[in-house]
Structure 1
Amino acid sequence: MSDSTAPPTVRLTVAQALVRFLSVQYSERDGVEQRLVAGAFGIFGHGNVAGLGQALLENELDPAPGEQPMRFYQARNEQNMVHAAVGYARTTNRLQTFACAASIGPGSTNMLTGAALATIDRIPVLLLPSDNFATRAPDPVLQQLENEQSAEASVNDAFRPVSRFFDRIHRPEQLVPSVMAAMRVLTDPAETGAVTLCLPQDVQAEAYDWPASLFRRRVWHVARPVPEPAALQRAAAVVRDARRPVLVAGGGVVYSEASDALTAFADATGIPVVDTQAGKGAISWEHPAAAGGVGSTGNAAANALAAEADVVIGVGTRYTDFTTASHTAFRNPDVRFVNLNVKAFDAAKNAAEMVVTDARAGLDALRAALEGYRVEEAYSRRVTELVADWARVTEECYHRGHGPLPAQTEVFGALNELLGDEDVLINAAGSMPGDLQALWRARTPVQYHLEYGYSCMGYEIPAAMGAKLARPDSEVVAVVGDGSYQMAPQEIATIVAEGLKVVLVVLQNHGWSSIGSLSESHGSQRFATRYRRRNPETGMLDGERLPVDLAANIRSYGIEVLEPSSIAEFREAYATAAAADATTAIVIETDLEGPNPPSSNWWDVPVAQTSRLESTRRARTEYEQAKGEQRPYL
């Protein structure tokens, strides 16, 4: 006899249940709701084609009542699709993301780099790697790692250290608590990152009677933690004693949409604002308190202020070595730190007076607590003078007329003048992030999209796709070096397939400019950093330049490629690309050796302590001298 009081159930496979559940999850902040998982990227193989693949097909062809469409995007490389999901999530200020589905074995482990990037950068992505058979009936299956100590181990265990949440679904009923925990982490502003749910291929296809309530529309509320009053008063007391304070704006200011709060704070206090890679644009570069990028690749104005600061207010920053110039940027022997961060782990860094809070809520509260406080007029004049001095350097770098090949800073200058405030510049690796942090003038937090927590070569093109999906009305420009391009051009095909319009700017300098410069300055003579043939006479990679035609390669994807040879022609090419309805690439040759903006700070890269090379011995001496400035902040 059936129990009429039993809650209703729905019979679905695990994969079908997962897709239906994800389709009705929403995030909310400040009263605005949006789909949490906007769609799915994937590549199918024997581990997921008949499980998740079937479920996604059924969702598109025959969605059940109440089930929302989960648009599927056919990626070309698993690492790239995670980068695309990160690009999307970052552009939506971490309020939305994508799921990424991969087959067993190499398909899944290809996502590891993307998982590490997402977790290091604190960006939510949902990863669905396929796994071995839970029943072990056909053990070992194709692509299975056999571990003599543990029959349960699989290659997917490598996701554990690079995930904020990890689970393996051995039985259907385990999915229920697992997906609830996954959604919590995806919407937690402090604990977010890669969420990995491993799905054994037999379990994906297994049917189960699910509680119907699992598939109701569910809203996950993204919190704005407010400061604890006593902590706020302690922080305010430290700032009130400061004569030369500086505020470091990190990515948390952008993600919490705190630009107005930061601007109001600067207006009220006159405290100068310097920025990290993730925080650039949090305050407009035109604001009188805005001093620009700080740290190893920062500008001279921001670094001078950092060196003199007696109090550093870190808002939404995790103080990487580039921000602190490997613990040499903040040189005042009596410097104190006040940190506002949604994550206690970061708020406590540098022995700070810590305030665990959302950036927007914290800035508003600290401004109120500091009512009546303002920096001295002499300090404000010094900020103005330093910023004006650097503005002249920026103009020189942007318009230096370098030849015969232009410097990449001239390309950036043209782009900085041509992009609108709501357009998006994307970059990640090489010498470009350093030039951009020092020089780029961002009026809005939308415009500057630099992935520098993991600084992952190959991020730019897939991230541009993700950003364009998030902001279809913005011009999205991916600036890519020839090194990064050769690592991951595959998603151009996905961009073309989806009819998306992005602008690809490829700087061809026939080598690794950043590492070449670093190698030269550290005594290694640019060894193996130029793209050259093997020289039969020397046995080294110092022969003829490789005859790689990147423009021809890009044209093979079916898009238009423009090849300007000067900055004037580049400006014309960009105008053509911006006016086009489809993706256009601009390939321009630039000087491998710069010149780059003048350096004003240090980065700790150890040099060989002993060597037969004079260049290395000289670099070691310089390294030891610089390292003498390094210290813990206590």
Structure 2
Amino acid sequence: MSTRRLTTAQALVAFLARQYTERDGRRRRLIGATWGIFGHGNVAGIGQALVEYADEMPYYQGRNEQAMVHAAVGYARQSNRLSAHAVTTSIGPGATNLVTGAALATVNHLPVLLLPGDTFAGRPADPVLQQLEVPHAGDVSVNDTLRPVSRYFDRVTRPEALVPAALAAMRVLTDPATTGAVTLALPQDVQAEAYDWPEEFFAERVWRVRRPRPDTTELDAAVRAVGAARRPLIVAGGGVHHSRAEDALRALADATGIPVASTQAGKGSLPHDHPADVGGIGHTGTSTADHLARTADLVIGVGTRYTDFTTASATLFARPGVRFVNLNVTGFDAHKMAALPLVADAREGLEDLARALAGHTVPAAYTAEYTGLKAGWEARVTAAYAPGAEDARPTQTQVLGLLDTLAGDDDILINAAGSLPGDLHKLWRTRSRDQYHVEYGYSCMGYEIPAAIGTALAAPGRPVWALVGDGTYLMNPTEIVTAVQEGVPLKVVILQNHGYASIGGLSESVGAERYGTAYRYRSPDGTYTGDPLPVDLAANAASLGMRVLRAHTIRDLREALAEARSATVPTCVYTETATADTVSGAPAAEAWWDVPVAETATRPPAVKAREEYDRHVAARRRHL
């Protein structure tokens, strides 16, 4: 048998460079690049291997380990999960910094390969620098923190163990039902150890991404349920996008007239101007979608996992006897809500449903009802977007309105945290299937800027916007340096509202009185109610190498956004919103969200909030 003598790290990089995915006849490289920050845990192993194979494995230099994972996730999402990035770090804090990014990837079912260094397998010195000593378990390292947030975890303690571990990692990364973060922990001595590898390990390998068809019995049951429904509603989740099932969904909606509401991950499954698109659903949804959800007799979930925002904490689907049909590639999600499960790829399942429902349409009165409600909501969006006085500071929704006038089908908007996800879900008029990129499965502050870099790498030439508030910007601005270094022309819009505005509003609603949510000096009474802090985030962005455009008024903002959109270098638009406390201007929430309120309290705001909480929680139900 022919062999090749390489270190474990060299063998891994050479292997990764020859892995491919294939779906619908299109072949793509599975691991498109590796992000890395090097320390003693990986510099002589993976670091040296990346030098050795620099012509085969592209490399990106990150500044923060969590941010590198976010960039990889942005790339994977934009690539429809058919191509991913690897991320390598040293052992110790570099490895534990991966945990948040890994959780985000796994929650959102997005593939990323994590290659943290690990402590010495041979234990020549014990303990070594950054080693966690566990008196009752000698085989535990800090990398074990990645186990619960990884879809697959292995520690490669001998060179030959890499072969099955690497193959298992690729299997999980390319399986639509199980994909997420995959971790191969690599002891630093094993990384540098040589071994005679079989040549077959380095042969090109194609991983075909399956599209399972529905079981005929399940399909028949689903068709009967849809045929009997008078007020059906489709809830489109992120699985529609992952499957590239948008055309199949449109065809089903066109043929049957069933309205389509969308989760955060599913927004854009239909364009905003499609007659059947009724907007976002749930706590951050539109009044149209939430009314239809409350009165639906059948809910057809497509690629959704029914988070509490979608279900309004189990209070939204209120009609007695409402039933569910769940089309999902993952059996776990297909069985939620006591549904009739339809375990299949979203595109295949929707196409089979459409064929089986040929000639079936919803009642004309139902179509007229949701069409009228949709028109009414559009008028509310227009009002929220209205720019107002040219010399005034903009509200947050006016910022979105100005961006709405500039954005074309190619623009991609990225956001994850703060009050922006709610405003975007309610108001943004999505024009294309991948324009709306809001990471709300984990809602991770600091995601936006690195994810925008990964997205731009996967979609070169398209305008990519990272929309961030001051709180999320301060969490993780460091990858601006990477964007400058790589010449990635992302557009960062910083909205300065002097604090955690969204949590401030939530705090007020649950009786916590906005305590500890403002970025202000302390007052004499010890509270953070003094003057705003003199923080200049625009100067910070400029110091990291970005071109910065300051917009003080609506007129300034309109000009700055237009200039940023055409810029060929990383560009930041900085604006301070109209007020520190009421930054949004969007319509209020159309559905509840369960955030438990203090059951006993002496302060009136908490007492009042508890009364309101008890009223809402009484409407919660289990669908059985």
Query: Which residue pairs with 1:12 in the alignment?
Result: 6
Query: Which residue pairs with 2:496 in the alignment?
Result: 508
1:453 aligns with 2:438: no
**Equivalent position amino acid for 1:459 in 2:** Y
1:419 aligns with 2:410: no
- Candidates 600, 604, 612, aligned match of 2:590: 600
- Candidates 338, 363, 381, aligned match of 1:394: 381
**Do the aligned partners of 2:418 and 2:469 also contact (CA within 8 Å) in 1?**
yes
Residues 460-499 of structure 1 mapped to structure 2, 5 A cutoff: 460-499=448-487
Distance 1:292 1:378 in 2: 20
**Equivalent position amino acid for 1:623 in 2:** Y
Query: Which residue pairs with 2:250 in the alignment?
Result: 263
1:556-592: CA deviation from partner (whole Å, max 9, x where unpaired): 0122111112223212111111222101100011133
Q: Which moved more, 1:355-364 or 1:588-597?
A: 588-597
| Structure 1 stretches of at least 4 aligned residues deviating more than 4 Å after TM superposition | none
Residues 335-484 of structure 1 mapped to structure 2, 5 A cutoff: 335-399=322-386, 401=388, 404-484=392-472
1:318 aligns with 2:312: no
Other structure's SS at 2:551 match: coil
1:552 aligns with 2:547: no
* Unmatched tracts of structure 1, length 5 or more: 1-6, 64-68
1:435-491: CA deviation from partner (whole Å, max 9, x where unpaired): 100001112111000000000000000000000000011100000010000000000
**Equivalent position amino acid for 1:33 in 2:** R
Distance 2:212 2:265 in 1: 21
**Do the aligned partners of 1:247 and 1:273 also contact (CA within 8 Å) in 2?**
yes
**Do the aligned partners of 2:408 and 2:431 also contact (CA within 8 Å) in 1?**
no
Other structure's SS at 1:189 match: coil
1:156 aligns with 2:172: no
- Candidates 33, 37, 59, aligned match of 1:39: 33
**Equivalent position amino acid for 2:367 in 1:** S
Query: Which residue pairs with 2:195 in the alignment?
Result: 208
Query: Which residue pairs with 1:83 in the alignment?
Result: 70
1:186 aligns with 2:173: yes
Shift of 1:365: 0.3
Aligned length: 620
**Do the aligned partners of 2:174 and 2:209 also contact (CA within 8 Å) in 1?**
yes
Query: Which residue pairs with 2:554 in the alignment?
Result: 567
Shift of 1:598: 2.3
**Do the aligned partners of 1:398 and 1:413 also contact (CA within 8 Å) in 2?**
yes
Distance 2:534 2:551 in 1: 19
Distance 2:4 2:572 in 1: 49
1:216-249: CA deviation from partner (whole Å, max 9, x where unpaired): 1110000001001110000110111100000000
Distance 1:415 1:112 in 2: 34
Distance 2:612 2:304 in 1: 30
**Do the aligned partners of 2:243 and 2:347 also contact (CA within 8 Å) in 1?**
yes
**Do the aligned partners of 1:279 and 1:445 also contact (CA within 8 Å) in 2?**
no
1:298 aligns with 2:292: no
Other structure's SS at 1:563 match: strand
1:365-384: CA deviation from partner (whole Å, max 9, x where unpaired): 01111112100100000010
Q: Which moved more, 1:311-320 or 1:526-535?
A: 526-535
- Candidates 564, 582, 596, aligned match of 1:577: 564
**Do the aligned partners of 2:387 and 2:402 also contact (CA within 8 Å) in 1?**
no
**Do the aligned partners of 2:326 and 2:340 also contact (CA within 8 Å) in 1?**
yes
Shift of 1:626: 0.8
Other structure's SS at 1:581 match: coil
Distance 2:68 2:494 in 1: 20
- Candidates 219, 230, 235, aligned match of 1:243: 230
**Equivalent position amino acid for 1:414 in 2:** L
**Equivalent position amino acid for 2:53 in 1:** N
**Equivalent position amino acid for 2:148 in 1:** P
Alpha-carbon RMSD: 1.0
Shift of 1:415: 1.3
TM-score, structure 1 length as denominator?
0.97
**Equivalent position amino acid for 1:158 in 2:** T
1:301-355: CA deviation from partner (whole Å, max 9, x where unpaired): 1100111100000000000000001011111011000000000000000000000
Shift of 1:401: 2.5
Shift of 1:23: 0.3
- Candidates 32, 48, 51, aligned match of 1:54: 48
TM-score, structure 2 length as denominator?
0.98
* Unmatched tracts of structure 2, length 5 or more: none
> What is the aligned-residue identity percentage?
58
1:249-294: CA deviation from partner (whole Å, max 9, x where unpaired): 0000011101110000000000000000010111111111110000
Residues 583-622 of structure 1 mapped to structure 2, 5 A cutoff: 583-590=570-577, 591-592=579-580, 593-594=582-583, 595-622=585-612
Residues 13-162 of structure 1 mapped to structure 2, 5 A cutoff: 13-60=7-54, 69-162=56-149
